[in-house]
Amino acid sequence: MEHLGSSSIVRGRGKNKRIWTYFEDEELIKALFEIALDPSWKSEGGFKNGYCQVLENVLAKKLPSSGLTAVPHIESRVRHFRTKFGAIEVMLTKSGFSWDDNRKMIQCEKQQYDDHCRVSHQTNYGVENLFIDS
């Protein structure tokens, strides 16, 4: 590793992270929403190839000094959103979970949430049938 002045450049997995600002996230979500409404970019279960390049162009116009690129920045952030918001989507499909639009959060009983987390964790590790009553 080479030292240049008081800073150093460290490359490699997990070392070259970009911190997204609130405004960058907000503009990315708005751009995703816009292309989701455009039938020329919709595909079954997602977007057609090249959508990240479209997002890069939109963000370059709205946030010219951000330096966001399709790969790795936008692609990585969309994957992050899928992971985080996918868990919320799964909960909302279940009975007893609802969305509180005023507080912008999921509402449910604590026991129900605890049960969901326990089952979800076990399913992720392949032991989904561990607590089934006989």
Please write the tens of the pLDDT for every residue from 7-21.
445 666 666 678 899
**DSSP one-letter string for 87-119:** HHHHHHTSTT-EEETTTTEEE--HHHHHHHHHH
pLDDT digit string (tens) for 23-41?
999 999 999 999 989 888 8
Which pLDDT band holds residue 84 (cuts at 50, 70, 90)?
Answer: confident
Q: Where are the alpha helices (DSSP H) in the chain?
A: 22-37, 51-62, 75-92, 110-124
What is this structure's pTM?
A: 0.64
Cis-peptide into 72, omega within 30 deg: yes
Q: What average pLDDT does the segment 87-106 reach?
A: 88
